[in-house]
Structure 1
Amino acid sequence: MKTTAVLLAAVTLSCAAGVGASPALGAGAPTPTTPPSTVATTASGGAVAASPVATTAIPASAPAAGGTPRVPRTIPDAPARVRAVLTRFAVSAPTWAVGAAAPTIALRLDASRITAARAQLRVEDRTTRRVVLRQSLGTVRSGVDVTAALTQRLAARPGTYRLRLIARDQTGRRIVRARSLVVAAPAPAPAPPAAPVAPPAAKDGYVFPVRGRCNFRSLGAQRFHSAREAGRAHNGQDIGTFSGFPPVVAVTAATVSQVFYDGAGGGWTIIFVGDDRIDYGYLHLRAGSIVVRPGQRVAAGQRVADAGNSGGDYEPHLHFEMRPTPWSAHRGDAVDPMPLLAGLPNTCEG
């Protein structure tokens, strides 16, 4: 009986010690390095040391700098493996003038779930069909409008290009779209203004009818009454203008009688009735250049049109013709203009 009582007392004390230590462990207190021993009494009454109770250390949570708890790093959602659709691809301007701001590329991908795609812009020369530049647009997330300026490297290469957008979504599918772009070369510097050609001085109320470079003496076909097809004769004097379209002016004071298009070969024509009672015809005038109308008075040297090649003639010139008035009644009575023209100051070279 005595031995039994001693054993019960030892067990009771051991349980009481364990219950008392629980709150401290739960609060994160360190576990004692030397665990308590239980004492047992042998049947003979001698005390023996019991084996130590095994325990596990519970480490305290380490606070971050400043005593605040650590926040786990947020891991972004992985893009879904779904097909993406390119719902927008645009270029802000069809033409890029060198020196201006670069055009902007705009694109947007959409999908049934949040996903992403790698995008690249390839610039192809439309003439050679070769890729001249590549521009990475990075990873494009679905549902987001993306804009990027076109690379400035293209500004140094004027030409016509195809901008090909290539995007590869998470399924591996390629999405391709294309737009056109013209890179315009810098405008050439304006040429210095040409030295003005001094108009011929009037001589007894008459001036030479062409302003600028000209030629009216050297070619036989230009002359009055030179042969034409079907036995016809040339009824005027041609004043060549070296492939240009210089102004033509009234040879003398006159009234504009007619302005019309001669479908028989004369092209745009003005007929003047001179104050000297001579009719003057200007033929093959440049289309759209006539600045006078029937009934209008003109002074000697006043611009009336530009030399031209309307009516089928290939080289610009002025066909200058003189007839007694009225014009339509004297086709066979044309007067040789050379004596008048040769005596007027002019800028012709031959």
Structure 2
Amino acid sequence: MPTSQRSFAQALLANPDARPDALLSRIAHKHAALGVSEDQYTIVHKYLFRAIGDVLGEAVTPEVAGAWDEVYWLMAGALIAQEARLYQEAQVDPRKPWRQWTVVERREETPDVASFLLRPADDGPLPRARAGQYVSVRVLMPDGIHQTRPYTLSNAPGDRLRRITVNRVASVADAPEGEVSNQLHRTVRVGDELTLSAPFGDVVLDDSDAPLVLVSAGIGCTPMAGMLEHLAATGSSRPVWVLHADRTPADHALRAETVRLVEQLSDARAEFWYERDATEGPGSPTGLMDLDGLGLPADADVYLCGSLPFMRAVRTQLLQAGVPTRHIRYEVFGPDLWLTHAEG
């Protein structure tokens, strides 16, 4: 049984009268960014339960099958309702979720990171977006198969252009290279078109006067860049800490832009950590991120984006500094295996 359904079932057992809203919201936004429609739940049910029977055999008694069937449709019903609302709010027809965008500029941010600035190919209005949201990019691969990957909008949602910033995922040990990211880096140039979904995602910058802490590592800087640009564009006066960890200054995508945006804000500061070559820029110690001594306010709203090990380590430091769990929000691209534990 998929991890999300096991988590949903565990939540129901713990509190039968409630629904795990955080889990459902995260999944619903990802489904909407892929154009998932109501009828597809019936198809998934058919093949999922056939696969369960094939793998587990006689262990799937009628009682077991009936229980999991009930869990599946409870979860599916809740997701269908949420996704219908998301499509309506985004003014998206789930039967036609994709739109063509023209690349008007390509920027090489680092040797492995490129930004693509985009405008609608039909010159129509930009869909509504919030700082921190992402779009799905649907790419035709050399083998003729379409693959889809999510990429954060790395600029302010109110701009006349939209930007995605793509990290080229290299092959490491037994792990293959990232097919979509490498295809984008190799082939996409100014004038080309990309197929995008509308923006979705529930980890968004809220309107608030509370202190704000943006914590990222590696390409996790992209939602933070969009949030920072939005804060600068709206003349925000809220206190802001920008904390980022990377391998070297040269690997730090959007670094100069981050410094510029921090300088535009009336009450913002930046601290960068580098594993090596930490010789320049604002507060750039060598080593892993260490929040000790920064004096982060306990009432801050905190946003995390980076690898799971990084976010777990930083979350532990934040909790030790007195920041409540409910104030810590995070984004994970890929299977979200941390949610159940992080919400505890």
Q: TM-score, normalised by structure 1?
A: 0.18
- Specify which structure has the higher proportion of strand: 1
User: Which has more radius of gyration?
Assistant: 1
RCO greater where, 1 or 2, for CA within 8 Å and sep 6 or more?
2
Higher relative helix content: 2
